[in-house]
Amino acid sequence: MACFITFEGIEGCGKTTQMKILSEHLAEKGFPVVITREPGGCPISLKIRDILLDAVNSNMVPLAELFLYAAARAQHVAEIIHPALDSGKIVLCDRFTDATTAYQGFGRELDITLIEELNRLATGRLQPDVTILIDCPVEIGLGRALSRIDATAGAREERFELESFQFHRKVRAGYLRLAAENPQRFIVIDGNRSMGDVEAAVREAVLPRLSEG
């Protein structure tokens, strides 16, 4: 039974780790799972990811950024997500359209109607069945993300981590607003708890949806 599940949250919220743990759990239970991420997930979109996240590109204008995310998404949906869903897989995706609304819409303050239209175009109106938002305070998430950069000195995927706390506060508020506006799709999990507690909350949220189908 196909199911499209996305993971969202600010930098350092723990979503990537939680998505991997869930994918292992589902695979152990015999579910056919595909994990992927945005921007990226396939060779063309990975090249776009390099441009988007390279700290060297600090002068990229918000509209160019928006169009690059949309381009990466169009390719990723066509090449990876749609075929996987069509063959009955459970697709777990680290970030998707809500990230564009939160970062480019609420963070960069681009027009939300334009973003929603671009999201619809890039995805052919595909929407997640479930979105797990791992929420945590900016001080904690960004603190984790910045220490990760220190630990991997030389990595250049840090253009967003270098944004101000204020930017990330707007992104977090944007995510929480999206969750409040789409309660049937979003599950908000407090990412400030122990890893085990978050893991249990993610399972509790997802497993009933899979047995419903």
Contacting positions for ligand TMP (CB under 6 A): 11, 37-39, 53, 69, 94-95, 99-100, 103-104, 160
Six token digits for residue 120: 């619809």
Q: Decide whether 38 or 129 has the Cβ nearer to ligand TMP.
A: 38
| Rounded least distance, CB 181 to ligand TMP, Å | 18
- Nearest-CA neighbor of 191 among 203, 183, 179, 199? 199
Nearest alpha carbon to residue 13 among 158, 153, 157, 145? 145
Please, what is the minimum distance in Å from the beta carbon of residue 100 to ligand TMP? 4
Given the complex with ligand TMP, which of 96 and 199 has the nearer CB atom? 96
Residue 144 vs 203, nearer CB to ligand TMP:
144
Residue with tokens 């930098």: 11
Q: Give the nearest distance from C-beta 96 to ligand TMP in angstroms.
A: 7
Distances (CA, A) of 174 to 74, 125, 208: 23, 21, 27
- Using the minimum distance from each CB to ligand TMP, give the nearer residue, 55 or 207: 55
Closer by beta carbon to ligand TMP, 12 or else 85:
12
Amino acid at 132: I
Identity of the residue, 26 or 171, whose beta carbon is nearer to ligand TMP in the bound complex: 171
In the complex, the smallest distance separating the C-beta of residue 99 from ligand TMP, rounded to whole angstroms, is 4
CA distance 94 to 73: 12
Q: CA-to-CA distance for 155 and 6, rounded, in angstroms? A: 25
Cα distances (Å, whole numbers) of residue 147 to 51, 143, 156, 165, 175: 23, 6, 14, 15, 23
Q: Beta-strand (E) ranges in 48-139? A: 90-94, 130-135
